[in-house]
């Protein structure tokens, strides 16, 4: 277990402090092209390909890029542009991902390459998600070096996060493969917009996933994300069916996805299709990117959403982006005793014993330290 002093020292290190920049200066451009794993040639004469990685299924002519800006057709072959070229590298508390039922109070070595296969108008990281690896300042970092840095810095997990990890799928998969079985978890925060075949290949090495379930209607996904809801639901089912620990984040946006019936429908769906022990994080919206005219979510709306989730049978419903709110704590679903007390990303009290409630002994769903 880390001391508080160790935690603070490490949690605020930047890439420079990790001695990355001194050895390998940030680069513009994409010198480490990696051929994509999931695509097919659809016109060999013209060099046109179809990407099979996500439900968008982009047809990409020679010289063109996919919708995500992270995959490019070069001379009739599809390449991942962000391989081993993260534009963001940080050591974060795992609570920031957010994972609340996975190794609380541990550090997560977090990376992202630029790009995203959605166009959410409320994106919190749009500067790097709505960009191409060809345009961002990138930090060369091989999977081997990434793992070694994570280990040196006593991280319990590697997190593929900040942007959409599907866009740097090959980098994530190669890193996850070498990290697997080395006492370090592979976790991701994803929009869930990925095809079943690549997802299943990733699940072999993935320990936990936080999936953004951004709304629970087709029209929400169509209007605000330029995407479809169905594939995201399929991803949640596939992850659970593969034994990956799943948490869900629902950013509650006033007037767009906050009506009580929709939230109740979503919670019932999660209970029935993913399980009552899937933690749901109702996160507070703040004006951002292309939705700056909407006010922050009232805390009372988040409290209502949490009540609805608990009534629907979900065992863990959290309130996010409201530091110090009691909805950040973990309560035993059987005896209701508070077992983890939080404020923001800080753990103030932790009483679980080997993943069980100290009051009634119930095993709490999650991945816990021995
Ligand atoms: S991963 Fe990118 S290139 Fe491939 S289908 Fe999705 S948006 Fe298109």
Helix axes 196-203, 230-241, angle to 10 degrees: 30
Contact 340, 347 (CB under 8 A): yes
User: Among the atoms of ligand 1, which is closest to the Cα of residue 115?
Assistant: 2
Token pair 């402090």 in the structure block, residue: 17
Mutation pick for ligand 1 pocket among 37, 48, 52, 56 (CB with most ligand atoms within 8 Å): 56
Contact 57, 50 (CB under 8 A): yes
DSSP state of 94: G
Helix-strand-coil split of the chain, %, nearest 5: 30, 25, 50
User: What phi and psi, each to the nearest 5 degrees, are found at residue 147?
Assistant: -60, -45
Beta strand segments in 253-352, E: 280-284, 317-320, 330-331, 338-343, 346-350
Which residue in 70, 86, 69, 163 sits closest to 125, CA to CA? 163
- What does pLDDT average to in each consecutive run of 10 residues of the chain (370 residues)? 35 41 56 91 97 98 98 97 96 97 97 98 96 95 97 98 98 98 97 98 98 98 98 98 98 97 98 98 97 97 98 98 97 98 96 96 94
CA 24 / ligand 1 centre spacing (Å): 29
Which residue in 167, 72, 91, 154 sits closest to 345, CA to CA? 91
pLDDT at 32: 76
pLDDT at 33: 85
In the numeric block, which tokens belong to residue 283?
A: 């996160």
Diameter of the chain measured on Cα atoms:
69
Return d(Cα 82, Cα 2) in angstroms, integer: 33
pLDDT at 30: 62
Q: Is 322 in the pocket of ligand 1 (CB under 6 A)?
A: no
Q: Is 337 in the pocket of ligand 1 (CB under 6 A)?
A: no
Mutation pick for ligand 1 pocket among 117, 198, 226 (CB with most ligand atoms within 8 Å): 117
pLDDT at 370: 76
Q: Enumerate residues 6+ apart whose C-beta is below 8 A from 174.
A: 143
CA distances from 155 to 76, 106, 168, 175, 237 (A): 40, 7, 21, 15, 28
User: Among the atoms of ligand 1, which is closest to the Cα of residue 117?
Assistant: 7
Q: Is 117 in the pocket of ligand 1 (CB under 6 A)?
A: yes
pLDDT at 24: 55
**Distance from chain centroid for Cα 34:** 23
Q: Is 69 in the pocket of ligand 1 (CB under 6 A)?
A: no
CATH of domain 4-10+85-328: 3.20.20.70
Q: Is 71 in the pocket of ligand 1 (CB under 6 A)?
A: yes
Residue nearest to atom 2 of ligand 1 (CA): 68
pLDDT at 26: 64
Mutation pick for ligand 1 pocket among 36, 42, 49, 53 (CB with most ligand atoms within 8 Å): 53
In the chain, what is the straight-line distance between the N-terminal and C-terminal CA atoms, in Å?
11
User: What phi and psi, each to the nearest 5 degrees, are found at residue 78?
Assistant: -95, 135
Residue nearest to atom 3 of ligand 1 (CA): 66
pLDDT at 39: 98
Return d(Cα 133, Cα 140) in angstroms, integer: 12
CA 269 / ligand 1 centre spacing (Å): 27
pLDDT at 261: 98
Query: Sheet holding 71-74: strands in order across?
Result: 34-35, 77-80, 71-74
Q: What is the pTM of this model?
A: 0.92
Q: Is 194 in the pocket of ligand 1 (CB under 6 A)?
A: no
pLDDT at 347: 96
- Domain positions in the chain are 4-10+85-328, 28-80
In the numeric block, which tokens belong to residue 158?
A: 């590697």
Return d(Cα 51, Cα 38) in angstroms, integer: 6
Return d(Cα 99, Cα 127) in angstroms, integer: 24
Contact 340, 104 (CB under 8 A): yes
Q: Is 53 in the pocket of ligand 1 (CB under 6 A)?
A: yes
pLDDT at 1: 36
């Amino acid at each position: 277990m880390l001391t508080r002093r160790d935690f603070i020292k490490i949690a605020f290190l930047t890439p420079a402090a990790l001695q990355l920049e001194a050895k390998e200066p940030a680069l513009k451009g994409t010198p480490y092209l990696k051929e994509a794993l999931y695509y097919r040639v659809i016109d060999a004469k013209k060099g046109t390909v179809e990407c099979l990685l996500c439900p968008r299924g982009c047809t990409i002519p020679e010289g063109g890029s996919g919708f995500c800006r992270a995959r490019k057709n070069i001379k009739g072959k599809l390449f991942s542009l962000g391989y081993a070229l993260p534009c963001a590298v940080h050591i974060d508390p795992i609570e920031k991902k957010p994972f609340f039922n996975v190794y609380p109070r541990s550090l997560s070595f977090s990376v992202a390459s630029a790009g995203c296969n959605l166009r959410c108008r409320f994106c919190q990281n749009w500067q790097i998600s709505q960009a191409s690896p060809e345009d961002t300042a990138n930090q060369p970092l091989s999977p081997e070096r990434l793992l070694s840095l994570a280990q040196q810095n006593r991280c319990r997990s590697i997190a593929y996060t900040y942007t959409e990890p599907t866009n740097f799928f090959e980098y994530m998969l190669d890193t996850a493969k070498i990290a697997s079985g080395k006492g370090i978890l592979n976790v991701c925060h994803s929009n869930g917009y990925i095809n079943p075949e690549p997802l299943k290949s990733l699940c072999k090495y993935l320990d936990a996933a936080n999936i953004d379930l951004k709304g629970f209607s087709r029209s929400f996904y169509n209007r605000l994300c330029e995407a479809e809801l169905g594939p995201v639901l399929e991803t949640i089912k596939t992850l659970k069916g593969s034994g990956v620990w799943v948490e869900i984040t629902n950013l509650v946006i006033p007037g767009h996805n906050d009506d009580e019936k929709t939230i109740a429908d979503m919670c019932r769906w999660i209970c029935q299709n993913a399980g009552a022990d899937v933690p749901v994080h109702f996160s507070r919206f703040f004006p951002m990117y292309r939705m700056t005219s909407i006010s922050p979510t009232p805390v009372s709306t988040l409290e209502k959403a949490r009540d609805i989730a608990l009534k629907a049978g979900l065992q863990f419903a959290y309130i996010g982006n409201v530091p110090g709110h009691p909805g950040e704590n973990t309560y035993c679903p059987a005896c209701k005793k508070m077992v983890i007390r939080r404020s923001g990303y800080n753990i103030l009290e932790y009483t679980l014993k080997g993943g069980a409630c100290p009051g009634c002994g119930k095993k709490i769903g999650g991945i816990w330290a021995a």
